[in-house]
């Protein structure tokens, strides 16, 4: 059995010339898990979680405008989805378990609904439901103090958060993959709406843990304790 190095840091280039950074852990010959981080974070955010997915080849991507990835002119969610598809293509991945936190969950949700052939199982961690944010999120007009990602990425996602297309709720019914939504009981995300969202996914279920918004960061062991059995059952 071949084993990949514990951590690989690398970059790839999309067909449009955009450089995307990524980190890789685990078994080179295992099933693939793709990890998508939240707004303002990067692939390193999964450092305490990824090693626990021991039977997988784990690939954590830096979204455009974040980490070691290039900044871009557009941060539309369809562009972020297409970046994931291009990264999978470049790395020889036909389909994967996809785990997304917050913004990464929104991208994973869109990917699973529109390209179900690429998603073997889906985990959405405290993803914002497609409801208008209450209160509305402030839209930056320039860099914010201490921000390390492209401020335009923040503006794009907050614009979506404030006025999402209601048809995004309908995407749930188009997801054939087994889906686990993991909420944080002390998060600002409305857990009752995430429960409803899970109910709309044909093979979805909802689990709540006693954490804030960053479930995998607050309680990595408890997060893995629900995610690993789910993935083991979904991907045999």
- Residue among 6, 7, 37, 43 at smallest CA distance from 22: 43
Q: What is the pLDDT of residues 116-139, one digit of tens each?
A: 999 999 999 999 999 999 999 999
Quick one: average pLDDT of 193-200? 98
Q: Is the pLDDT of residue 7 over 50?
A: yes
The mean pLDDT value of the chain amounts to 95
Average pLDDT over residues 214-228: 97
When mean pLDDT is compared over 1-10, 11-20, 77-86, the highest value belongs to: 77-86
pLDDT surpassing 80 at residue 5: no
- What does the block give as tokens for 57? 């080849």
Per DSSP, the three-state class of 43 is: helix
Phi, psi of 37 (to 5 degrees): -85, 175
Peptide bond into 225 cis (omega under 30): no
Q: Tell me the domains of the chain and their CATH numbers.
A: 8-234 (3.40.50.1820)
pLDDT at 189: 96
Question: Across-strand partners of 13?
Answer: 19
The two tokens of residue 88 are 């999978």
**Three-state SS for 156?**
helix
DSSP string, 88-110: HHHTT-S-EEEEEETHHHHHHHH
């Amino acid at each position: 059995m071949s084993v990949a190095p514990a951590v690989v840091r690398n970059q790839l280039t999309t067909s449009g010339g955009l450089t995307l950074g990524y980190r890789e852990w685990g078994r080179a010959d295992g099933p693939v898990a793709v990890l998508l981080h939240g707004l303002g974070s990067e692939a390193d955010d999964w450092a305490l979680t990824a090693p626990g997915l021991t039977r997988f080849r784990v690939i954590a991507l830096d979204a455009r405008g974040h980490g070691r990835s290039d900044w871009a002119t557009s941060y539309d969610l369809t562009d972020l989805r297409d970046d994931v598809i291009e990264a999978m293509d470049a790395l020889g991945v036909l389909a994967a378990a996809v785990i997304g936190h917050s913004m990464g969950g929104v991208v994973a949700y869109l990917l699973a609904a529109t390209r179900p052939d690429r998603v073997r199982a889906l985990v959405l961690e405290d993803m914002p439901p497609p409801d208008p944010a209450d209160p509305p999120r402030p839209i930056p007009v320039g860099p914010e103090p201490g921000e390390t990602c492209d401020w335009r990425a923040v503006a794009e996602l907050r614009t979506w958060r404030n006025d999402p297309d209601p048809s995004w709720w309908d995407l749930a019914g188009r997801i054939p993959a087994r889906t686990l939504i993991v909420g944080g009981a002390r998060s600002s995300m409305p857990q009752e709406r995430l429960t409803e969202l899970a109910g709309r996914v044909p093979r979805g279920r909802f689990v709540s843990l006693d954490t804030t918004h960053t479930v995998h960061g607050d309680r990595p062991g408890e997060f893995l304790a629900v995610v690993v059995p789910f993935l083991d059952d979904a991907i045999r």
